[in-house]
Amino acid sequence: MKKYIYFLPACVAVVILMAGGSMACTNFIVTKGASADGSVMIAYTCDGEFHPHLRYMPAGDHGPDDYLEIKDWSGEIRGKVKQPPHTYAVFYLMNEHQVVIGETTFTGREELINPDGMLHYWWLMRLALKSAKTAREAVLVIAALVDEYGYSSEGESISIGDPNEAWLLEIIGPGAGGKGAIWVALRIPDGYVCAHANKARIGEFPLNDPDNCLYSENVIDFAIEKGYYDPDSGKPFNFHEAYCPVTPQKLRYTATRVWSIYRRVAPSKDWPADYHRGISGAEPYPLWVKPDMKLSRENVFGIMRDHYEGTDYDMSTGMDSGPFGTPNRWRPMNWNIDGIDYTWERPISTQQTGFSFVSQSRSWLPDPIGGVFWYGVDDTYFSVYVPFYCGNNAVPRSYAEGSLDVFSWDSAWWVFNFVANYANLKYSYMKEDIRKVQEDLEGTFSALQPTVEKTALELHGKDPKLMRKYLTDYSNSHADMVVRRYRELGEYLIRKYNDGYIQDENGRPQETRYPESWLRGVLRSRPGQFRLERWEGDSLETNLPY
């Protein structure tokens, strides 16, 4: 008999933060008919103040008595799960069959958290990837696991994709001492996209369409028993109304992100702000929408870097963005002045992102080449998405090591974190330097991809082992190159933007004035303080000594 201990994915750290009241994460699902190249794409930002570690788990064969020890984030053993005869290789959150999983926590009714359940959502994600060859299989694996071992997390929305389909699974616990979980899963129609961000999104669903909808037997009866749904009301059952009731604050925090994704992919449609502003009676946004045009991978990168630019909620404008237009707002998000509650906007791209990815599952290529896991660390706006293939069997050291409590130039996360944080000193200027390097690196990956994959295809037919080495070496060497470039970028920014000056091409420090709009705001807030009186015949001397 063997026992196994799998690592916990880095998003476990987010759970610790959420215990202090902070929800996190945004997901965007693109079906193959909605993508420009026919791939299924899942985009996921795992948001929270933590240091992620990129991991690879090899496939394995197991005996009838082998089991897996389940530990929580503190190392306490919660129980053990029987191993299947064979488990698949997993590159972080994509397995060798191009199945990929992301999530967002919607919390829901907190009385339904079951402390007696064994499996938190991150274990369900990991175990599903180890056992499922398709997205549908992953849904069924998760359902079987919670039936047998119990579910212990809050409400979760889980995105699952494979080369042909994409599903959204929403799950919540039965409360202390309960059995199993309450859940529903829908297949996203081909040609459509779906977004979710810390709010349950599934409303009404078909009860007799197993090709497109799966659900737990108790999903409606449990809601009736708890008083969450009245069948005599004449209204059809709605999952998110029953299990994730809304407040204006929750809508502001969650639905604004969904609204912004939809207004970008389908600008031809009317996307009123009423719902995400918490206006009573406003119509919720649809679960899925058909985009105006098919989306490229680069389109999805851009969506995950959104701060509501160009809208009334643009976080890079206004006094709250400071003199240099930073879209970042420091926690806490909520505050009260004179008895009135206020909140900052919560964008898709946030400085608190630990890692993010945009996956591509491609049905026309062999699995080791078809699955691409475009992975980045820290703030999506300044991160670089590096291509890792699901056929890779090792990760670069700089993405696999490091800790939140020790700064290190050897850690990819710390390097990107430094660049993003330093940019806040003069954001509107520095972002141009950073995005230039970012675009150069990601453009290089896009240009190399056809040649890299052509070579990999040739090797796949001749020497699959060599093909895996080739892809792994390509990804890891270029990931290391990205970290070196950003380390150099960080050092360049320190030199160029020193003491409030901006060095010119000759290395000479130049003064830069604050924007007039911001200066006018300062004058309104402190009238008269900065005004300089002039005597008759006096001229203003600007070149004063230090």
Provide the pairing of β-strand 67-71 with 3-4.
parallel
Kindly state whether residue 529 falls inside one of the protein's structural domains.
no
The parts of the chain modelled with pLDDT lower than 50 are 4-22
| Helix (H/G/I), strand (E/B), else coil: 25 | coil
Kindly state whether residue 515 falls inside one of the protein's structural domains.
no
Instruction: Specify whether 206 is located in the same domain as 238.
Output: yes
pLDDT of the residue at 24: 81
pLDDT of the residue at 9: 47
316 vs 326: CA distance, rounded Å? 5
Instruction: Specify whether 339 is located in the same domain as 357.
Output: no
Question: Pick from 318, 343, 368: which residue ends a domain?
Answer: 343
Q: Phi and psi at residue 176, in whole multiples of 5°? A: -55, 130
Paired with 246 in beta bridges are none
Instruction: Specify whether 483 is located in the same domain as 357.
Output: yes
Kindly state whether residue 178 falls inside one of the protein's structural domains.
yes
Ramachandran sector of residue 424 (left: φ over 0; alpha: ψ -120 to 50; beta: rest): alpha
Tokens of 391: 């056929």
Instruction: Specify whether 57 is located in the same domain as 92.
Output: yes
Instruction: Specify whether 306 is located in the same domain as 332.
Output: yes
Number of domains in the chain: 2
Kindly state whether residue 333 falls inside one of the protein's structural domains.
yes
Kindly state whether residue 265 falls inside one of the protein's structural domains.
yes
Instruction: Specify whether 229 is located in the same domain as 105.
Output: yes
Instruction: Specify whether 403 is located in the same domain as 424.
Output: yes
Instruction: Specify whether 395 is located in the same domain as 373.
Output: yes
394 vs 171: CA distance, rounded Å? 32
Kindly state whether residue 330 falls inside one of the protein's structural domains.
yes
332 vs 344: CA distance, rounded Å? 9
Instruction: Specify whether 94 is located in the same domain as 199.
Output: yes
Tell me how far CA of residue 106 lies from CA of 177, 199, 486, in angstroms: 21, 4, 34
pLDDT of the residue at 534: 82
Closest CA to 159 of 150, 148, 169, 149: 169
Kindly state whether residue 220 falls inside one of the protein's structural domains.
yes
Kindly state whether residue 170 falls inside one of the protein's structural domains.
yes
DSSP state of 35: B
Paired with 326 in beta bridges are none
Instruction: Specify whether 140 is located in the same domain as 219.
Output: yes
Boundaries of domain holding 49: 3-343
Contact at 8 Å (CB) between 56 and 392?
A: yes
Label residue 541 exposed, middle or buried (CB < 10 Å: 0-12, 13-18, 19+).
exposed
pLDDT of the residue at 72: 82
**Cβ-Cβ contacts under 8 Å for 240 (sequence gap 6 or more):** 170, 199, 200, 201, 202, 203
Buried b (16+ CB within 10 A) or exposed e, 497-515: beeeeeeeeeeeeeeeeee
Instruction: Specify whether 480 is located in the same domain as 379.
Output: yes
pLDDT of the residue at 542: 56
Sequence letter at residue 304: M
Provide the pairing of β-strand 94-95 with 86-87.
unpaired
103 vs 11: CA distance, rounded Å? 10
316 vs 321: CA distance, rounded Å? 5
Question: Pick from 299, 319, 343: which residue ends a domain?
Answer: 343
Question: Pick from 319, 343, 367: which residue ends a domain?
Answer: 343
Instruction: Specify whether 122 is located in the same domain as 269.
Output: yes
pLDDT of the residue at 76: 86
